Amino acid sequence: MDQLEKCSANYVPLSPITFLKRAASAYPDRTSIVYGRTHFSWMQTYERCCRLASSIRSLHISKNYVVSILAPNVPAMYEMHFAVPMAGAVLNPINTRLDASTIAIHLRHSEAKLFFVDWEFIKVASDAINILVASGGPTSVSPLVVVIDDIDNPTGARLGELEYEDLIRRGDPDAEPHHITDEWDPITLNYTSGTTSAPKGVVYSHRGAYLNTLSLLLQWGVGSEPVYLWSLPMFHCNGWTFTWGLAAQGGVNVCIRKTSAADIYSAIIAHGVTHMCCVPAAFDMLIEGSRMHVGPLLSQVHVLTGGAPPPASLLDHVENMGFKVSHAYGMTEATGAALICEWQAHWDLLPADERARLKARQGVSMLSLADVDVKKLNSTDSVPRDGNTMGEIVLRGSNIMKGYFKNPEATAKAFEGGWFSTGDAGVMHPDGYIEIKDRLKDVIISGGENISSVEVETVLHQHPAVSQAAVVAMPHPKWGESPCAFIVLKGDRMENIVKEEDIIAYCQKNMPRFMAPKKVVFKDELPMTNKKTVIKSELRKIAKGFTAVLEQKSNDVREHLPEWLSTMSKL
């Protein structure tokens, strides 16, 4: 049977590009894209992409060249997800929230040859190019710029000679797309961070993109003829692969430039949206918008959320409004979704808070992942399926990135031990569902027990005087590390009323003793990133200078017993 060879009839490299050609054949007249008054059919989208691919090639772009794009969710952003790989090149979508100097770092690192810029971003793009050119060196060559004017409402804004619709007009609709001979070839380049001199550019293969696209469609249960609202930026992991997925299903892409509540509700009502993605932080906006603009939805909208667990308090509310929420967990390195919290029908019968607790779990692996595991810290063994023992979530499969572009050290580190290390600490529940407890680097290891800083913070937030809380490790002479809490109190002069020992006593009452902070530091504010997350590395530096006082009680073995044992057996 080994003599049965691959040939062009039975072996075609996997690529999501095939979905577009198929859509043009199977759904020629169905709507592909709606954007304001602009409508395209799948046949038109295919022809426009063929034309654009041929124009891109005529600009001397060839295999493995990077083509960058800085644009919101407009039709061009969608089309480029096909046209660029159809030209043989690699698409690099840039986060529209970045500043000029970070964009310059990405352009230099990716050595982008072409740079497509939406008219609204001409200023920041132009600044970025100036910074790039001024920085000197062999990779500081300015890319050729193509301005994407608004297709629905042209502004005339330009930066250089080239304009998107003009490239499409000049392209050859009958030009054969680049022939993909190896499904391991790169298709996109997505940067996860870029503020340092060594940005992490995640490279996807055609194979990985194809497989995760199909798997997510299947596991989210996206049926035929979906109407998908582009509320999630396409620059996030290529829109969690739904860029390619909508072509696979021949669905409708509802493109919107802004994602205000008004825009979202207008689009839902105008186009009968069935599916959308968003981060849980957007739930507030959906609830607020619902009060301002509309009543309950006429038909259910399926919402896939990720990035953080959907908060219980909001989940019930948005579900009652007509949104059906599914929760996935992923990262750029896993081509978007890696785990999905597959809903089980019998959970429908549970009370709302229990349902929210189950839905907040990260879930089970995508079919495109060959394997997922939670490994004991500093070990190759799996944690027991007890919902309690923390370990690092590791992934393996065809939807894991090819690696980091021009960064062999980071690539080797990420793949150490033959698994992709997520850097997330989690537990495995008895039913096989994984739940994240903390970022691995924030876990506090105290006397062999792993303490989730997030769990301690959750209890601290429940204290009536606490406004903000962050917990990090500080050295402990006996247990190695122990938790140190940094706290911002509500209102002024609360510090005169609430003392360190009050907070510690509150914690000791509401969590296993070993988890309770040994030190509490009151602050006026916590160091924060632009994204409003606490910069724990700064707090860790401070905490390193502390040493926990060796209490008498800490000799008590009971303090470090697992919770179930210390509560149950009353030693």
Q: Are 518 and 505 in contact (CB under 8 A)?
A: no
- Give yes or no for residue 21 binding a second copy (CB under 8 A): yes
Q: Are 342 and 364 in contact (CB under 8 A)?
A: yes
**56, burial (CB in 10 Å: exposed 0-12, middle 13-18, buried 19+):** buried
Using CB under 8 A, which of the segments 72-80, 300-308, 400-408, 465-473 binds a second copy? 400-408
Among 400, 471, 484, 511, binds a second copy (CB under 8 A): 400
User: What residues pair up with 345 in beta bridges, in sequence order?
Assistant: none
- Give yes or no for residue 184 binding a second copy (CB under 8 A): yes
Q: Which two tokens stand for residue 540?
A: 């860790």
The b/e string for 437-468 (b: 16+ C-beta within 10 A; e otherwise) is bbebebbbbbbebbbbbbbbbebbeebeebeb
Q: How far is the CB of 186 from a second copy (least distance, A)?
A: 4
- Give yes or no for residue 555 binding a second copy (CB under 8 A): no
Q: How far is the CB of 400 from a second copy (least distance, A)?
A: 4
Q: How far is the CB of 415 from a second copy (least distance, A)?
A: 4
- Give yes or no for residue 381 binding a second copy (CB under 8 A): no
DSSP states of 311-346: PHHHHHHHHHTTEEEEEEEEEGGGTEEEEE----GG
Residues 57-116 interacting with a second copy (rule: CB under 8 A): 64, 90
How many Cα atoms are found within 13 Å in the side-chain-facing hemisphere of 57?
19
Q: How far is the CB of 338 from a second copy (least distance, A)?
A: 12
CA separation, residue 306 to residues 200, 281, 363, 488 (Å):
21, 10, 12, 28
Number of chain positions touching a second copy (CB under 8 A): 68
Report the distance separating Cα 553 and Cα 103, nearest Å: 54
CA separation, residue 452 to residues 267, 277, 342, 446 (Å):
41, 28, 25, 11
- Give yes or no for residue 179 binding a second copy (CB under 8 A): no
Among 59, 162, 312, 367, binds a second copy (CB under 8 A): 367
- For a second copy, give the closer residue by CB, 161 or 416: 416
Closest CA to 79 of 108, 52, 39, 115: 52
Q: How far is the CB of 414 from a second copy (least distance, A)?
A: 8
- Give yes or no for residue 298 binding a second copy (CB under 8 A): no
Using CB under 8 A, which of the segments 220-228, 235-243, 528-536, 559-567 binds a second copy? 220-228
Using CB under 8 A, which of the segments 139-147, 157-165, 203-211, 490-498 binds a second copy? 203-211
Helix (H, G, I), strand (E, B) or coil at 43: helix
Among 154, 223, 477, 480, binds a second copy (CB under 8 A): 223
Closest CA to 177 of 16, 334, 403: 16
**474, burial (CB in 10 Å: exposed 0-12, middle 13-18, buried 19+):** buried
Using CB under 8 A, which of the segments 212-220, 263-271, 277-285, 558-566 binds a second copy? 212-220
Among 225, 288, 386, 495, binds a second copy (CB under 8 A): 225
- Give yes or no for residue 550 binding a second copy (CB under 8 A): no
- For a second copy, give the closer residue by CB, 91 or 466: 91
Among 267, 268, 395, 460, binds a second copy (CB under 8 A): 395
Report the distance separating Cα 398 and Cα 211, nearest Å: 7
Name the residue type at position 239.
Answer: G
- For a second copy, give the closer residue by CB, 271 or 560: 271
- Give yes or no for residue 502 binding a second copy (CB under 8 A): no
Q: Give Rg (Cα) of the chain.
A: 26
Q: How far is the CB of 222 from a second copy (least distance, A)?
A: 8
Q: Are 205 and 187 in contact (CB under 8 A)?
A: yes
Angle (CA) 169-174-180 rounded to 5° is: 110
Q: How far is the CB of 18 from a second copy (least distance, A)?
A: 5
Q: How far is the CB of 420 from a second copy (least distance, A)?
A: 5
Report the distance separating Cα 71 and Cα 76, nearest Å: 8
- For a second copy, give the closer residue by CB, 8 or 569: 8
- For a second copy, give the closer residue by CB, 262 or 370: 370
- For a second copy, give the closer residue by CB, 46 or 486: 46
Q: How far is the CB of 105 from a second copy (least distance, A)?
A: 18
- Give yes or no for residue 246 binding a second copy (CB under 8 A): no
The b/e string for 66-78 (b: 16+ C-beta within 10 A; e otherwise) is bbbbbbbbbbbbb
Map residues 323-362 to x or -, x wherever contact with a second copy holds by CB under 8 A.
Answer: -------------------xxxx-----------------
- Give yes or no for residue 28 binding a second copy (CB under 8 A): yes
- Give yes or no for residue 186 binding a second copy (CB under 8 A): yes
Q: Are 330 and 306 in contact (CB under 8 A)?
A: yes
How many of the other CB atoms lie within 10 Å of CB of 140? 16
- For a second copy, give the closer residue by CB, 406 or 540: 406
**Interface residue list for a second copy (CB under 8 A):** 1-12, 14, 18-19, 21-22, 25-29, 64, 90, 184, 186, 189, 203, 208, 211, 214-215, 217-218, 221, 223-225, 248, 342-345, 364-365, 367, 370-372, 395-398, 400-403, 405, 408, 411, 414-415, 418-420, 431-433
